[in-house]
Amino acid sequence: MTQAVPLSAEAPPAATPPELGKTPRRPGWRRLLVLGPLVALVVAALLPYLQLPLPGILDGPFNTYGNLQLFATCLVFGGLAASYDLLFGRTGLLSFGHALYFAAGMYGTDVLVTRAHLPLWQAAVFTLVGATILAALLGAIALRTTGIAFAMVTLAFAQVGAILVARDFGGLTGGEEGLPIDGERLPDFLLGVGNTVNLYWLALAYVALVVFVIARVAGSPTGRVLAGLRDDERRVGVLGLDPYRYKLVAFTLAGGLASLGGVVYVLILGGANPHVTSSELTLSLLVMVVLGGPGTRWGPVLGGILYMYLDHRLTSLAADLPGPLGQPLFVLGAIFILAVYFFPGGLASLRGRVALVSAALGRRRKDETVS
């Protein structure tokens, strides 16, 4: 005689079949996804100890002072491109003034150290807080507009910042000559050519922090709302959420991360350069993001590193190239056009395309074997 099952008892959930078209990830792949970035960070941190000769790619081994400074610069711009992708790739905001906050980080730190004679850590904290507040205030105004109007307003703010730096009001910025930073106010481990490796590690820490922060934001409920704003802002409004508030959060956070990059870059460069205040830098950031893959975790970082590396190498090799090939911008533009044409999703889509090609070749070989 069978025993009746109480009505309150719940039946065990039925096993759900895997989604069509998707291969379930093995535990080993999950572990690799978690440990992969950490392993890459450790390897990048240990590269200065390795004398890797890379002829044609670098001038001498990797751990020479010139190459370490080059890759420190590339890392800073990789992190800067990732901060811009928080606006463009993840929120759908086309800003032409992101360079303003990077310049605020550079000049704010330099002015407070050189003119106000503050210690570096105090100058960095004050600059970071001030630049973040500046991003919140300007974002609160610019985000009242949308589309092209938003892009033009951010460009206007950036142009005002460039004019203030070029006019050298109060003798603070050094005008077109820039402002060298006072080395006597800096820690000893950041001074001298022999400590270039410390600047490299500082730039690497900046990239790791930016990627970590953006990954946490993207995986949070706020990140999902930002993705919804990028896809269709009206749907977010229908759900009862305030698009303006979420866009302001993204704008402020991106500006704060960019200003932190300016703090790091002024130490690598040894001073503030007025070139960073130009709108050309923001356009370069847009190219970096598109080249690497907007809306991806590692694409903007790789795009920024590759762009700055090519910009440096093509400048040094331009004298040996004939005709238009002797113009670095011409070669860099041609490379960008080819990359966008053959890889519309940027460098981040390269792995998926390679997998598709491999799968197609595998099916072709299987058909040939069967026939």
Q: Confidence band (pLDDT; 50, 70, 90) for 98? A: very high
* DSSP SS3 for 180: strand
Give yes or no for residue 332 having a pLDDT over 60.
yes
Q: What integer pLDDT is reported at residue 355 of this predicted model?
A: 63
- Reference 126, options 112, 139, 136, 140; nearest CA is 112
- Reference 291, options 220, 353, 342, 363; nearest CA is 342
Q: What integer pLDDT is reported at residue 353 of this predicted model?
A: 65
**What average pLDDT does range 37-42 have in this prediction?**
85
How is the chain split into domains, by residue range? Answer: 63-312+330-343
Per the document, the length of the chain is 371
Q: Any bridge partners for residue 272, and if so which?
A: 179
Q: Confidence band (pLDDT; 50, 70, 90) for 207? A: very high
Q: What integer pLDDT is reported at residue 150 of this predicted model?
A: 96
Q: Which residue has the tokens 């890459």?
A: 40
Helix (H) or strand (E) holding 272, with range, is strand 271-272
CA distances from 334 to 45, 46, 67, 140 (A): 33, 34, 25, 38
Give yes or no for residue 192 having a pLDDT over 90.
no
Q: Which residue has the higher pLDDT, 63 or 180?
A: 180
At 191, list the tokens.
Answer: 């001074």
Give the range with max mean pLDDT: 193-197, 231-235, 252-256. Answer: 252-256
Spatial distance between the Cα atoms of 211 and 86, rounded to a whole number of angstroms: 10
Q: Confidence band (pLDDT; 50, 70, 90) for 53? A: confident
**What average pLDDT does range 98-103 have in this prediction?**
96
Helices (runs of H) and strands (runs of E) counted in the chain? 13, 2
Q: Which residue has the higher pLDDT, 89 or 194?
A: 89
Q: What is the pLDDT of residues 305-317, one digit of tens each?
A: 999 998 888 776 6
Judge whether 89 and 289 are in contact, CB under 8 Å. Answer: yes
Give yes or no for residue 348 having a pLDDT over 90.
no
Helix (H) or strand (E) holding 73, with range, is helix 65-88
Indicate if the alpha-carbon torsion angle 244, 247, 252, 255 is positive or negative.
negative
Q: Confidence band (pLDDT; 50, 70, 90) for 352? A: low
Count of C-beta atoms within a 10 Å radius of residue 56: 6
Q: Confidence band (pLDDT; 50, 70, 90) for 59? A: confident
Percent of the chain with pLDDT over 90: 53
Q: Confidence band (pLDDT; 50, 70, 90) for 37? A: confident
Give the range with max mean pLDDT: 188-192, 198-202, 271-275. Answer: 198-202
**What average pLDDT does range 188-196 have in this prediction?**
89
Q: What is the pTM of this model?
A: 0.85
Q: Please give the angle made by the CA atoms of 160, 279 and 250, to the nearest 5 degrees.
A: 85
Give yes or no for residue 254 having a pLDDT over 60.
yes
Q: Which residue has the higher pLDDT, 268 or 40?
A: 268
**What average pLDDT does range 24-33 have in this prediction?**
54
Q: Which residue has the tokens 């081994």?
A: 61
Spatial distance between the Cα atoms of 244 and 141, rounded to a whole number of angstroms: 11
Give yes or no for residue 119 having a pLDDT over 90.
yes
At 55, list the tokens.
Answer: 């002829």
- Reference 202, options 336, 48, 357, 5; nearest CA is 48
The CATH architecture assigned to 63-312+330-343 reads Orthogonal Bundle (1.10)
At 200, list the tokens.
Answer: 């490299």
* DSSP SS3 for 219: coil
The amino acid sitting at 47 is L
Q: What integer pLDDT is reported at residue 371 of this predicted model?
A: 63
Give yes or no for residue 255 having a pLDDT over 90.
yes
Give every CB contact of residue 264 below 8 A, 6+ residues apart in sequence: 76, 202, 203, 206
Spatial distance between the Cα atoms of 93 and 244, rounded to a whole number of angstroms: 12
Q: What integer pLDDT is reported at residue 17 of this predicted model?
A: 44
Q: What is the pLDDT of residues 262-285, one digit of tens each?
A: 999 999 999 999 989 887 888 899
